[in-house]
């Protein structure tokens, strides 16, 4: 783990900064980090600029029904994360979905087996909300600056955690925080648009999800009714980065093109009754550039998220867990 400096450095930080740790970002990495700190008895605050927690494990309700607009699903190969998933299953928050997707390529359509994918009947955001029940989260709290000290918006703290995509973290970091700035500037992210398409009825063949290769618009399609387990006539499509990049300024304008692409691919004559497009400017990291699950430096700045590892929900959870434990070991 990239923890530098001895415990005396952090003892000093705690002695002069009684507010404890400030975590900026209430996605699964930030919330999991805070959970570990609470368990260790370290004071922590989580600040989230949005109205709800969840980050890219995002869900939006349409006529009372949730649809996932961020991460499409998750897998669990890490034993510790699998144990958390088992708790979610026991609570009725997740369900086993599928281990087989369709794949479209130059050879047509074929089945592609893979790992077991999990889905959440109430939306993936409900899982982050479940974890967040154990920590103090303040939503609608925009953070503007993280400065040496460390300090968050002028308020001294023992440590500051930025659990968000690197380009967003870079906007908050004072350049004097050289180590953290170097790490976030090394990250590369790509955009996507997620479109929720609601139809009058289910007129497509039974499938779970489909990887779409070599397509000018589409990257992934999920049958949200199958994913949720209620058979609602809802599809969610994710676009390729190149298409998304041309529509970031006005994502709703991409709706007709995405709908037509989905209908053409699945052979649907029926038009959608509603199309909602969500923009993800920083949807997917290119991959870990540090070789570590997180970053923690002697300035008291921690970084966590799925940029530290494969771009997976599990990676974000493990990043937050490991950073929280590293901070607790130094500050506790």
> Can you give the pLDDT at residue 174?
98
The pTM of this model reads 0.92
Give residue-wise pLDDT tens across range 136-157: 999 999 999 999 999 999 999 9
Give residue-wise pLDDT tens across range 167-196: 999 999 999 999 999 999 999 999 999 999
> Can you give the pLDDT at residue 8?
36
For the chain, percent of residues with pLDDT exceeding 70? 94
> Can you give the pLDDT at residue 17?
43
d(CA 99, CA 114) in angstroms, rounded, equals: 5
Q: Is the pLDDT of residue 312 over 90?
A: yes
Task: Sort 146 into a burial class: Cβ within 10 Å, 0-12 / 13-18 / 19+.
Answer: buried
Tokens at 279, concatenated: 């923009």
Backbone angles phi, psi at 207, to 5 degrees: -155, 170
> Can you give the pLDDT at residue 15?
41
d(CA 170, CA 39) in angstroms, rounded, equals: 29
Give residue-wise pLDDT tens across range 226-263: 999 999 999 999 999 999 999 999 999 999 999 999 99
Residue 223: CB atoms within 10 Å: 23
Q: Is the pLDDT of residue 10 over 50?
A: no
Domain spans, the chain: 7-55+126-188+289-331, 72-121+189-285
> Can you give the pLDDT at residue 286?
87
- Which architecture characterizes domain 7-55+126-188+289-331 according to CATH? 3-Layer(bba) Sandwich (3.50)
Cis, bond preceding 2 (omega within 30 deg of 0): no
Q: In this structure, which CATH number among 3.90.660.10, 3.40.50.800, 3.60.40.10, 3.30.360.10 belongs to the domain 72-121+189-285? A: 3.90.660.10
Give the residue-averaged pLDDT of 189-214: 97
Give residue-wise pLDDT tens across range 255-292: 999 999 999 999 999 999 999 999 999 999 987 677 89
Q: Is the pLDDT of residue 6 over 70?
A: no
d(CA 124, CA 75) in angstroms, rounded, equals: 12
């Amino acid at each position: 783990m990239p923890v530098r400096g001895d415990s005396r450095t952090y003892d000093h930080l705690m002695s002069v900064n009684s507010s404890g740790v400030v975590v900026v970002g209430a996605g699964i990495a930030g919330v999991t980090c805070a959970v570990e700190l609470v368990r260790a008895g370290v004071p922590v605050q989580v600040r989230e600029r949005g109205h709800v927690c969840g980050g890219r494990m995002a869900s939006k309700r349409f006529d009372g029904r949730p649809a996932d607009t961020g991460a499409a699903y998750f897998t669990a190969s890490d034993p510790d994360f699998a144990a958390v998933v088992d708790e979610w299953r026991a609570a009725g928050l997740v369900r086993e979905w599928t281990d087989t997707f369709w794949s479209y390529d130059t050879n047509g359509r074929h089945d592609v087996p893979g790992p077991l994918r999990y889905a959440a009947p109430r939306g993936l955001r409900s899982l982050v909300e479940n974890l967040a029940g154990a920590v103090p989260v303040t939503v609608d709290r925009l953070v503007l600056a993280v400065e040496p000290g460390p300090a968050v918006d002028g308020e001294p703290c023992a440590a500051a955690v930025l659990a968000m995509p690197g380009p967003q973290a870079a906007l908050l970091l004072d350049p004097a925080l050289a180590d953290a700035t170097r790490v976030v500037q090394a990250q590369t992210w790509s955009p996507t648009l997620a479109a929720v398409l609601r139809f009058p009825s289910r007129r497509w063949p039974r499938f779970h999800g489909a990887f779409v290769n070599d397509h000018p618009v589409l990257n992934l399609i999920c049958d949200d009714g199958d994913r949720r387990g209620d058979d609602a006539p809802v599809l969610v499509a994710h676009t390729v980065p190149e298409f998304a990049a041309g529509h970031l300024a006005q994502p709703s304008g991409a709706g007709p093109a995405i709908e037509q692409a989905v209908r053409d691919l699945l052979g649907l004559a029926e038009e959608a009754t509603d199309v909602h497009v969500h923009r993800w400017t920083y949807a997917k990291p290119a991959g870990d550039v540090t070789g570590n699950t997180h970053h923690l430096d002697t300035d008291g700045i921690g970084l966590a998220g799925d940029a530290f590892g494969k771009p997976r929900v599990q990676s974000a959870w493990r990043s937050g867990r490991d950073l929280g434990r590293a901070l607790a070991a130094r500050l506790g």
